[in-house]
C-alpha cells in the first residue's frame, strides 16, 4: 500500500510511525485510519520489528483530534461507521503482538488522546496538552475514549475529563496516570527509541505473551486472569526465548534472542 498520510522509519528492531498531516495538526480522517490499519497489519507480520513508536509530524501536535471538517459532513449512520472504524483500528494497535509506545509531542486531543490510550506506553514532551474536548463540540468520544479512559484512571476522574472538555499539561497528565513519563521536547523521540530498543532486546515471545496476559486479564476477574497467566507461563517454557534467557543467566552472559 502507498502511504500518503503516515511515514515509516525502521531502526534496528524498532519501527517509528509518524502521522504526517502537520497543516491540520495531524488530524484523523478516514484515509489516515485506513493507512494506520494497513500499516499495523504490515508490522504485525514483520518478525524483524519488536517494538513500535507512534508520533506526530511537526512540533505542535501528536494528533489534535479527529478531522472536524470531515466529521461535520457526516450523517448519523456515517458517524457510526466512522466511530467503528476508529475503534477497530485502535483495538488493532492495542492488541498488536509487539509493544507500542506513543511519543506525544504536542496536542493529543480527542481522537489523538484515544490513539495514545490504545498504545501500551505513553511518553509526553513538556509541551504536550492532553484532553477529550468532544462535548465542547456537542459530541462524545467515539474511538474508545469513554471506555479506555475509565480503565486508565479512576472513573470519577475520567468523567471529569470527559464532561468538562478541559485540557491538561503533561505533568498533570502524568500525575493522573495518563502518561508514564514527561521529558524535554528535544529528547522525546530519543527517549522513546531507547526504551523501545531495551524492549526489543528482551525475549520477543516472552514480551508478546506478557502483553497477551495483561490485555486478556484486564477483562476477567482475578482468578480467571491467574489461570491465563499460568497457561502462558507454561507456554513460554516451550520456546527458544526461555532456553536462551535462562541459559544465558546460568552461563553469566548476555542473552541473544531470535524471533522464535
Return the exposure string of 94-117: e unless at least 16 CB atoms fall within 10 Å of the residue's CB, then b. Answer: bebbbbbbbbbbbbbbbbbbbbbb
Q: What would the grid cell of residue 55 be?
A: 508520533
Exposure pattern of 172-192 as b/e (b: 16+ CB <10 Å)? ebbebebbeebbeeeebbebb
**Could you confirm whether 114 is annotated as catalytic?**
yes
User: Active-site residue among 42, 134, 187, 229?
Assistant: 134
Candidate list 114, 187, 219, 229, residue with the active-site label: 114
Residue 4 a catalytic site member: no
Q: Where are the beta strands (DSSP E) in 111-161?
A: 121-125, 129-131
Q: Which residues are catalytic?
A: 114, 134
Amino acid at each position: 500500500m502507498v502511504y500518503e498520510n503516515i511515514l515509516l522509519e525502521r531502526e534496528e528492531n524498532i519501527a517509528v510511525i509518524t502521522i504526517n498531516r502537520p497543516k491540520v495538526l495531524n488530524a484523523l480522517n478516514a484515509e489516515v485510519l485506513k493507512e494506520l490499519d494497513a500499516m499495523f497489519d504490515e508490522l504485525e507480520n514483520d518478525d524483524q520489528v519488536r517494538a513500535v513508536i507512534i508520533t506526530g509530524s511537526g512540533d505542535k501536535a501528536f494528533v489534535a483530534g479527529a478531522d472536524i471538517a470531515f466529521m461535520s459532513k457526516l450523517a448519523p449512520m456515517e458517524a457510526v461507521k466512522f466511530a467503528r472504524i476508529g475503534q477497530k483500528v485502535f483495538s488493532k494497535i492495542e492488541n498488536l503482538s509487539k509493544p507500542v509506545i506513543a511519543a506525544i509531542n504536542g496536542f493529543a486531543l480527542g481522537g489523538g488522546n484515544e490513539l495514545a490510550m490504545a498504545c501500551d506506553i505513553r511518553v509526553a514532551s513538556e509541551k504536550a496538552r492532553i484532553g477529550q474536548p468532544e462535548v465542547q463540540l456537542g459530541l462524545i468520544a467515539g474511538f474508545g475514549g469513554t471506555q479506555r479512559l475509565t480503565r486508565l484512571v479512576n472513573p470519577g476522574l475520567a468523567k471529569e475529563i470527559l464532561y468538562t472538555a478541559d485540557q491538561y499539561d503533561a505533568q498533570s497528565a502524568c500525575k493522573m496516570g495518563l502518561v508514564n513519563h514527561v521529558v524535554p521536547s528535544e529528547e522525546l523521540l530519543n527517549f522513546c527509541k531507547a526504551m523501545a530498543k531495551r524492549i526489543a532486546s528482551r525475549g520477543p515471545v516472552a514480551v508478546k505473551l506478557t502483553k497477551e496476559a495483561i490485555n486478556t486479564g484486564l477483562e476477567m476477574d482475578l482468578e480467571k486472569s491467574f489461570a491465563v497467566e499460568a497457561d502462558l507461563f507454561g507456554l513460554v517454557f516451550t520456546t527458544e526465548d526461555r532456553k536462551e534467557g535462562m541459559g544465558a543467566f546460568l552461563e553469566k552472559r548476555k542473552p541473544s534472542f531470535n524471533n522464535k
